Amino acid sequence: MREFLLTLLITAAVTYLVTGPVRKFAIVAGAMPEIRARDVHREPTPRLGGIAMFFGLCAGLLVASHLTNVGEIFKTSNEPRALLSGAALIWLIGVLDDKFEIDALIKLGGQMIAAGVMVVQGLTILWLPVPGVGIVALTSWQGTLLTVALVVITINAVNFVDGLDGLAAGMVAIASVAFFLYAYRIWYGYNIEAAAPATLFAACLVGMCLGFLPHNMHPARIFMGDSGSMLLGLVLAAAAVSLTGQVDPDAMRLFFQGSERETVQATVPVFVPLLLPLTVIAIPTADLVLAIVRRTWRGQSPFAADRGHLHHRLLEIGHSHSRAVLIMYFWSALIAFGALAYSVNSASMWIVLGVVFLSAVGLVLLLLPRFTPRVPVWAQRFVPPRYRPRRRTAGAAVPVEAAATEEAGERAPVHAGISGVNGATAIGPRSRFVDRR
């Protein structure tokens, strides 16, 4: 565990330290696109944060290769080299897109090539545990297609959710921590060496996210861009492929009693979430599916950007930027760690009840802006202004106290005025409004 934690800290430190110079480089290079209709930030912000993440990944893998125990992974497996090859390719495509905004189909082709590069070097799904059937061995082309599909889906799921400051990095960090805990349990608890590469990948992924988050929290000083979001998605998918498709089911069966079918059924609650990490990144995947359905229903391209993502909807119903991000964090953690707890002890009813209770709490938090309390007149001075009822007067929202004052015939001084929320100011006895915008 100490060597994995050291790798995590080195990755986080390098990512954090390199992000500052990368921000200055992005400004000089002009990687600061203009504000688009779907953006929620107010001023141009540099991209290319994925450069710092890639340097952090390289530093983490370099340090890990010289450690005593973790270094054995590089001697017995080619998966770290496969990951680094695919990551370098997808990172390069992302950097070009952050600067020149290349076509969506070209990016999709690059994602498939990056996945293919990893498959050629051995990072592929070899078999699947299927409930009621047993272990299903995949042919070469079946494993290749499934691996490429998993990588492309995960990359685009993370890319689509990268719409608010700190959202994608935080959600991937949560998913990576849950993934790391399970992979370490398989490696250390069951002494299965094939799970070591996935544990290493998850540790590096946590470090990349934690090192970048301080620069990316609201208000963000730099965005990760496609160079960062696609890199995170690829590393997460590589960890899932390594653990699900590479761990020998026969080795797992040694720790369970019964037939092969019973063993598979006992391990399915964990393997299926890792096969298609819908529980680990369930929120980004749901957002991806909804976006594709929404855009194709309108006759648009599935890659056409819009403001219909889940985080946009949270802002529309009244959540602040920070609260919308925290709500997405909450749901991601609930699903990821709920699946992790269920995989450890699927027979415990307390886990199910706990998930149900926390889901109810999450729904209340989600709909909080809909619950606008009605505050009595005598208590309005004791609550924040947003909870006080307002009246519309000449296109501006005026508090009840101000409206009552005007109705009583009290004239506001010309130099003081009454300011409305829309930037209009009452300047005369008849409360004529002047637009200051």
Q: Please give the annotated binding residues for Mg(2+), written as ranges.
A: 159, 226
Distances (CA, A) of 137 to 103, 141, 144, 183, 238: 37, 12, 13, 22, 19
133 SS3 class: coil
Contact 419, 425 (CB under 8 A): yes
Q: What is the identity of the amino acid at 128?
A: L
DSSP string, 41-93: -SS-----HHHHHHHHHHHHHHHHHTSTTTTHHHHH-SHHHHHHHHHHHHHHH
Torsion of CA 71, 77, 79, 80, to 10 degrees: 20
DSSP string, 209-229: HHHHHHHHSSSPS---HHHHH
Which parts are annotated binding residues? 159, 226
Those residues with Cβ within 8 angstroms of residue 417's Cβ, 6 or more apart along the chain or in another chain: 425, 426, 427
* Nearest Cα residue to 343 out of 239, 403, 265, 414: 265
As a whole number of angstroms, the distance between CA 49 and CA 79 comes to 25
User: Do residues 193 and 187 touch, judged by C-beta distance below 8 A?
Assistant: yes
Distance CA 171, CA 156 (A): 14
CB atoms near residue 263 (< 10 Å): 21
Q: How many residues does the chain have?
A: 437
Cα distances (Å, whole numbers) of residue 408 to 47, 403, 412, 428? 55, 9, 12, 16
**Stretch (H or E) spanning 1:** none
How far apart (Å, rounded) are the C-alpha atoms in residues 367 and 320?
Answer: 13
Name which of 377, 335, 340 is nearest 182 in CA terms.
Answer: 340
Q: Which residues contact 109 (CB under 8 A, 6 or more apart)?
A: none
Q: For CA atoms 96, 99, 100, 102, give the dihedral sign.
A: positive
